[in-house]
Copies of this chain bind each other. A is one copy, B any other.
Amino acid sequence: MEQRVDFITLGTPDLEAARRFYVDGLGWEPTLEVPGEVIFIQVGHGRMLSLWDAAAMDADVGARGDARGGRMMLSHNVGSPAEVAAALERASAAGATIVKPAEATSWGGHTGCFADPAGFLWEVAHNPGWRVDADGRVVMGVVDD
């Protein structure tokens, strides 16, 4: 499991308020938005901030408001569903708690989640529509297959 964070996800109770702050207020430009669900904003070379509706995040990974990281998750992207499973096994062997086993997602990928020893959430994801160009630009495309 390479030492890499690709996404930082913040579970956000009011996406419109988040949009007013980050997009209207700070002037940050979204890469992709699904109204009422999620806003993706590139925040550096090959990295993305994801403002995700808190209820949707809770439904996906379980309500973690009591966890050390609150409603925050770091993501590590890999190249295939098999690599998702392998990374989760590696993390488990290293002492992580598996929060969500690897499974297919509605958007055509595979993800699983673990909590580190302090309780911080990590997602391991294979996203066939994710690409980082040589200049660091993140492309999030639609999966055709």
Which of A5, A18, A70, A120 is most buried by chain B, counting CB atoms within 10 A of its CB? Answer: A70
A47 contacts B94, C-beta separation under 8 Å: no
Q: Is A109 an interface residue, CB under 8 A from the partner?
A: no
- This chain's copy number in the assembly: 2
Residues on B with C-beta less than 8 A from A74 are 8, 49
Judged by DSSP, the binding face of A is loop
**Of A23-31, A78-86, A99-107, the one with at least 4 CB within 8 A of chain B:** A23-31
* Residue total for A at the interface (Cβ-Cβ under 8 A): 50
Q: Which of B5, B12, B13, B118 interacts with A47 by CB under 8 Å?
A: B5
Given contacts A1-B26, A8-B74, A24-B94, 9 further A-B contacts (CB under 8 A): A5-B49, A6-B44, A21-B116, A25-B94, A26-B91, A26-B94, A44-B45, A44-B46, A45-B45
Residue of B nearest to A42 (CB): B3
Residues on B with C-beta less than 8 A from A70 are 67-70, 72
A20 contacts B69, C-beta separation under 8 Å: no
Q: Is A142 an interface residue, CB under 8 A from the partner?
A: no
